[in-house]
Structure 1
Amino acid sequence: MAMLLLLLLGAAAPPGGCSDPGPGLHSLRYFYTAVSEPSPGLPEFITVGYVDDQLIDHYDSERGSAEPRAEWMARSEGPEYWKRQAQISQGTQATYRADLNTLRGRYNQTGGFHTIQAMYGCELRGDGSIGGFYQDAYDGRDFISFDKDQETWVAADVGAQITKRKWDADRINTQQWKAYLEGTCIEWLGKYLEYGKETLQRREPPRVHVSDRPSREGLTTLSCRVHGFYPRSVAVVWLKKGVAVPQETLQWGVLPSGDGTYQTRATIEIDPSSETDYTCCVEHPSLAQDLRVPWGLKPNVMLIVGIVIGVLVLVAAIAGAVVFLRKKRDGYKAAAAHDGSASSGSNQGSDTCVKA
């Protein structure tokens, strides 16, 4: 179950360019999972809600109650709210139980373990616009989704066509979903952001580290690691001579760092012998303007060469000085020895002193 939820949470596509608004600045999402054969530790029905990537509430059919999972949710909402959330989940649980029987018959399945998953929610984007979505899956495969702009349902396979025709015909239900995603959901997201503003509305700027490594056939892979930022919304792209090249930039997705912040990485493969003017460009809500960190192969090489030459010159100078001093000292000793031998026959005291 945890893996299924992680797959759903990772469904958002990474941003494609430095000027791309990226994923939603803030989001409210709900995930429903129903199973045909529950077991201890795997309830028949589970509901979880998230604001951004923070778990805010949980319901499962074993407990039969909705519970807060964020301290600020427990502090801000009273018993009536949680009672209402439990009633909504219990009603959905009964609906999904019937839907599992319907879909088993539609796909000619006589028994076995089967699942229905749903995810829906809304988001406030970095550019001020809003978005919303609803999607169902059966046995881990796409089943049906909602196109709210066209106010129609989109079937993923032949088995879902029956559901599509039925739901398209129910115009009231379709309009209610559109109104929820564009209105009610956004309103509740605003409330939750206010409840948990100390956590959810904070700003932590990204830290950027640019590195390189040899690739294949003389090529070099440049890596731009961006980490320590919050909120999740970020855009990262490589610039070539100041121009974004998103088609050449490989995005690695935005992941939690485990400390309440996020991290991501963008790489690009280049020929360092032909062009080295590359810069990693990062946009984030915490930044007044985009952050640009250049990759400086040539300057670094020149610096290293300069340091090496400087060290060699210094070593040579020291060696020359040592040789000079040794020669000077040896010359003094030779002169002293010459003077001593000339006077040794007439000064026995000096000769005796030298031997002592």
Structure 2
Amino acid sequence: MGGPGSLLLLLPLLLGGAESRSHSLQYFLTAVSEPGPGVPEFTVAGYVDGQRFVEYDGEAQQMRPRAPWMQAAQPEVWEQENRVHKVRQACFRGKVRTHLHLYNQSRGFHIFQYAYGCEIRADGSTGGFRRFGYDGGDFLIYDAARHRWEAPAREAEATQRRWNGDPVALQYYRHFLERECGEALQRYLQLGQGALARRERPVVRVTSRDTPGGPTTLSCRAHGFYPRDIAVSWLRHGGSSEQGPRRGGVLPNGDGTYHAWATVEIDPRERGLYRCRVEHESLADPLIAVWEPPSDSWLVLVVAGAILALGAVAVLVGLAWRRRQSGPKADLYSPALASEHGSDSSITALT
């Protein structure tokens, strides 16, 4: 996980980075300088294969399951998680104060973040990462290939020199990423093997939006798929070359599935030449979707609805005219007549 970048953007990037049938374990820890309602002092979120499976409640100082399959975890798992993160919560208070000093800040809302994890790729190889961030920017990054810390921020250079000068700590970081993290991932995969192994097919829809005097935007949206990894691309003439689309990333749904989209701007005269191609583990072959104009049946329904509405208006106008011609005694729905038939609730209701 090499070069610098915004740690606030790290979560969605990492969750989408695994290859097909690879597996990942990731933790994201956050501490803030000024907690408040809805903004806890310290939080932890853990993910297996992009699914949140645990979350630390800083106020209760308890790690809680977020995936149903974690309910089956042994009590010692929760005892270990709670013990480790209580210590980290206290440690992160100090980290926030330290960074306020390093950045010459005395007060205000500031965020300290720590992200780490590992993956087992489809070819059996492994990898891992550790990153620290402050106020949305990278502070320190562990270079897993060189087994040393890099300092994107000038304020981190003193910490970088100190940590790189400790061979025992460097050996621990390497051992954790190359062995301990992978062993933990294997345990969680075994615990949640039924839920994590499921496959949900994407539902794909293509829509079109015209710009007066400009290009047409075709949008391809895939909904309700699992696992997270998916490829959505636009092809012209059904060929193999991909047109340069804009992608919206892969985002979670409330039911544990995901959705994704990709758009492409085209000449409106060539709308019928473009195809959306979707590749996913749940599909034996790539799914091809095209834009289709509104059907004639839809237009018939709209026209029929308008005719019925006009007919209803005509009937109401006719009834009103007849009442006016007949005078008040002929109005069966008048309040006076309704009071004479007070026991008849149907007439009373109509008034």
TM-score > 0.5 by shorter chain: yes
2:62 counterpart of 1:65: yes
| Distance change >3 Å, CA 88–CA 24, structure 1 → 2 | farther
Contact 1:154 1:164 in 2 (8 A): yes
Superposed, 1:153-302 pairs within 5 Å as 153-215=149-211, 217-241=213-237, 242-245=239-242, 248-273=244-269, 276-295=272-291
* Distance (whole Å) between structure 2 residues aligned to residue 48 and residue 67 of structure 1: 10
The percent of aligned pairs where both chains have the same amino acid is 45
| Distance change >3 Å, CA 288–CA 104, structure 1 → 2 | same
Partner of 2:345: none
Across the two proteins, how many residue pairs are aligned to each other? Answer: 289
* Distance (whole Å) between structure 2 residues aligned to residue 295 and residue 14 of structure 1: 27
Partner of 2:90: 94
| Distance change >3 Å, CA 228–CA 37, structure 1 → 2 | closer
* Distance (whole Å) between structure 1 residues aligned to residue 34 and residue 217 of structure 2: 49
What root-mean-square deviation, in Å, do the aligned CA atoms of Structure 1 and Structure 2 show?
A: 3.1
Partner of 2:110: 114
Q: CA deviation at 1:159?
A: 0.6
Q: What SS is found at the alignment partner of 2:81?
A: helix
Q: Is the deviation greater in 227-236 or in 198-207?
A: 198-207
* Distance (whole Å) between structure 2 residues aligned to residue 131 and residue 215 of structure 1: 46
Task: Structure 1 unaligned segments of length 5 or more: list them.
Answer: 16-20, 305-356
Partner of 2:12: 10
Q: Is the deviation greater in 200-209 or in 141-150?
A: 141-150
Opposite residue 282 of structure 1, the aligned amino acid is V
* Distance (whole Å) between structure 2 residues aligned to residue 218 and residue 40 of structure 1: 46
| Distance change >3 Å, CA 191–CA 244, structure 1 → 2 | farther
Q: CA deviation at 1:251?
A: 0.5
| Distance change >3 Å, CA 128–CA 254, structure 1 → 2 | farther
Q: CA deviation at 1:153?
A: 2.0
* Distance (whole Å) between structure 2 residues aligned to residue 294 and residue 114 of structure 1: 47
Q: CA deviation at 1:191?
A: 1.7
2:47 counterpart of 1:45: no
Q: CA deviation at 1:89?
A: 1.3
| Distance change >3 Å, CA 50–CA 274, structure 1 → 2 | closer
* Distance (whole Å) between structure 1 residues aligned to residue 181 and residue 16 of structure 2: 23
Partner of 1:132: 128
Superposed, 1:284-323 pairs within 5 Å as 284-295=280-291
| Distance change >3 Å, CA 14–CA 159, structure 1 → 2 | same
Contact 2:51 2:256 in 1 (8 A): no
| Distance change >3 Å, CA 140–CA 218, structure 1 → 2 | closer
The counterpart of 1:54, out of the listed 47, 51, 54, is 51
* Distance (whole Å) between structure 2 residues aligned to residue 292 and residue 147 of structure 1: 40
* Distance (whole Å) between structure 2 residues aligned to residue 82 and residue 182 of structure 1: 23
Q: CA deviation at 1:154?
A: 2.4
Opposite residue 48 of structure 1, the aligned amino acid is A
Contact 2:45 2:52 in 1 (8 A): yes
- 1:60-116 deviations in Å (ceiling 9; x for gaps): 4432333333332231322x2222222211222333233233222222223444331
| Distance change >3 Å, CA 276–CA 43, structure 1 → 2 | closer
Q: What SS is found at the alignment partner of 1:217?
A: coil
Contact 2:16 2:228 in 1 (8 A): no
Opposite residue 34 of structure 1, the aligned amino acid is A
Which of the two has higher C-alpha Rg? 1
Contact 1:255 1:264 in 2 (8 A): yes
Opposite residue 149 of structure 1, the aligned amino acid is A
Partner of 2:342: none
* Distance (whole Å) between structure 1 residues aligned to residue 174 and residue 232 of structure 2: 32
Q: What SS is found at the alignment partner of 2:269?
A: coil
* Distance (whole Å) between structure 2 residues aligned to residue 6 and residue 116 of structure 1: 10
- TM-score by length of structure 2 reads 0.71
Q: CA deviation at 1:276?
A: 4.4
Opposite residue 235 of structure 1, the aligned amino acid is A
Structure showing greater relative contact order (alpha-carbon pairs closer than 8 Å, 6 or more residues apart): 1
* Distance (whole Å) between structure 1 residues aligned to residue 122 and residue 264 of structure 2: 26
Q: What SS is found at the alignment partner of 1:231?
A: coil
Contact 2:113 2:134 in 1 (8 A): yes
Q: CA deviation at 1:204?
A: 0.9
